[in-house]
């Protein structure tokens, strides 16, 4: 497990606790974390390796862990498609966490 992302047990517990209200926060935290790394000097811009995959996984796990405790000040209007997709993301995360 990459540094800073919590243990495997913590990530699975966070997945089991996710609620539909957390999905928008998770999306924003994930995109923000990925963008921060992509535009940083730590991104080699080529010759990606397993190490770089670990960074992406760490960003995703941190988004999952922090989503319930962070809310955006504003978010786009939620269309029917976005609502459906967020529900599917939540269902998939619960299945993945064994809930």
pLDDT given at position 56: 93
Task: For residues 97 and 65, give the distance between their C-alpha atoms in angstroms, rounded to a whole number.
Answer: 13
Structural domain includes residue 2: no
Nearest to 90 by CA among 64, 66, 72, 55: 64
Residues contacting 11, CB < 8 A, separation 6+: 1, 5, 61, 64, 65
Structural domain includes residue 41: yes
> Which pTM was predicted?
0.82
CA distances from 53 to 9, 32, 81 (A): 20, 17, 29
What is the tally of structural domains in the chain?
Answer: 1
pLDDT given at position 92: 87
**Domain that residue 35 falls in:** 8-96
Q: What is the pLDDT along the chain (99 residues), one digit of tens a residue?
A: 444 566 888 888 888 899 999 999 999 999 999 999 999 999 999 999 999 999 999 999 999 999 999 999 988 788 999 999 999 999 988 787 776
69: DSSP letter: G
pLDDT given at position 99: 64
Structural domain includes residue 1: no
Question: Is the C-alpha dihedral spanning 8, 11, 15, 16 positive or negative?
Answer: positive
């Amino acid at each position: 497990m990459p540094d800073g992302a919590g243990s495997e047990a913590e990530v699975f517990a966070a997945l089991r606790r996710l609620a539909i209200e957390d999905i928008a926060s998770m999306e924003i935290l994930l995109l923000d974390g990925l963008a921060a790394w992509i535009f940083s000097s730590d991104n080699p811009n080529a010759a990606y390796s397993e190490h770089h995959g670990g960074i992406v996984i760490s960003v995703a796990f941190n988004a999952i862990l922090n989503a319930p405790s962070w809310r955006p000040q504003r978010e786009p209007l939620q269309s029917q498609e976005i609502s459906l997709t967020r529900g599917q993301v939540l269902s998939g995360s619960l299945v993945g966490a064994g809930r």
